[in-house]
Amino acid sequence: MKISFIGAGNVAWHLSQAFESANYSINEVYSRNPANARALTQQLYNAQTHRGLDFSSSVSQIFFLCVTDDAMEEVIRNLSLPVGAILVHTSGSKTLRDLQELVEVYLDESIKIGVFYPLQTFTKMFHVDFKEIPICLESNDLDVESLLITLAQDISDITYAVNSDERKVLHLAAVFACNFTNHLWGIAQELMKTNDLEFKLLEPLIKETLRKALDAKDIFEVQTGPARRNDKEVVQRQMAYLKDMPAYQKIYDSITKNIIETNAL
């Protein structure tokens, strides 16, 4: 089976290579920034950089749409696909119906659709093991669903059928578990750096916090710290320390209040 990628960002970077490692042929890569497409094709065996969004003559059977949610409509508006092609998006928050409506407006009615959402954080320079990544699938066509299951199982040991409403919740939870947490680590790193302290001092704490969270039946029950104890004196001192960093002070205050409220229930 031949596969083409529309988009050459973090998801496409890892997903295309995972498919190739599973002996699928990556045929073409398109990006609105040709340099990004070229960089990805250089990581692949025989993929070609595709200029423009006219894929009508492509020999690929399935097209992975790996673009931002905001860019999806513009891309599909200018997209041409072969008759009978399968168009699959990898978004956590766009519904199957969203994709269906765009296809109905801008593409041929013969195009089939699906969702192939790898639940993981991706950065180009960091290796991931796809075998450990949950892949959430959805389609309104049984043949497409069967194909997506095969594709997913060839690269991952964890495959789920997840509808659009469930996937929205998954994506929101992932934002809290990953994106927000990473941002808080970044704040911690900056506080350490500005005071000539090594971030490595926090590594054992981060690892133990993660271990406890993964092992706990109720993560709220293993919460520690001044907010958990409702230690007003410590909280006030730390708020005062952040007075010249109002954005961080606001985050500190909001999370502290939420921890206190959660543990008062």
Query: Cα angle at 95 between 89 and 100, to 5 degrees?
Result: 75
Ranges in the chain, pLDDT < 50: none
Question: Do residues 117 and 27 share a domain?
Answer: yes
Q: State the residue range of the domain holding 33.
A: 2-162
Domain-ending residue, one of 134, 162, 190: 162
Closest to 4 (Cα-Cα) out of 22, 21, 27? 27
Question: Do residues 19 and 101 share a domain?
Answer: yes
CATH number at residue 214: 1.10.1040.20
Domain-ending residue, one of 146, 162, 178: 162
Question: Do residues 144 and 16 share a domain?
Answer: yes
pLDDT computed for residue 265 by the predictor = 67
Residues 12-23: pLDDT tens digits?
A: 999 999 999 999
Residues 145-188: pLDDT tens digits?
A: 999 999 999 999 999 999 999 999 999 999 999 999 999 999 99
Question: Do residues 81 and 144 share a domain?
Answer: yes
Domain count, the chain: 2
Q: Name the pTM for this structure.
A: 0.94
